[in-house]
Amino acid sequence: MSMARAAEPPGIAAGINQIEGYLLLQTERDAARERARRLTARLDWLTSAQRAEVERLYLQDQLAVTEQTLRKVVRRCEELRAEYQEVYRTLRRRLLLVCLLGAATLAGGFATALTVR
């Protein structure tokens, strides 16, 4: 998700993601159709009905592969998000600890300086 999208309400970001997914799927469907046409064009012995059936089956197979691939990508993105969130939480805790220790050290130094006088 981009920085601009992070500031959007969740409903808008989800809607944009759905539109992007739809457009991606339509682009892949068009590309798969073209690949099917190129394949059947080389098989000049096919009848029109056979050509249409081969194109339909090829398109169906390609879209199934695309769906599987996209699901794997989504799963991996979710895994990476969880990993990065955990790393971020760990770094935030460490930074807080360093700040608290630094503040305690400064407070101790000031207290020592004031008692020495």
Q: What residue spans define the domains of the chain?
A: 16-116
Q: Are 56 and 79 in contact (CB under 8 A)?
A: no
How many CB atoms lie under 10 A from the CB of residue 77?
11
Is pTM beyond 0.85 here?
no
Q: Are 61 and 39 in contact (CB under 8 A)?
A: no
pLDDT digits (tens, 9 = 90+) for 33-90: 999 999 999 999 999 999 999 999 999 999 999 999 989 999 999 999 999 999 999 9
Locate all alpha helices (DSSP H) within 1-117, ordered by sequence.
3-6, 10-41, 48-116
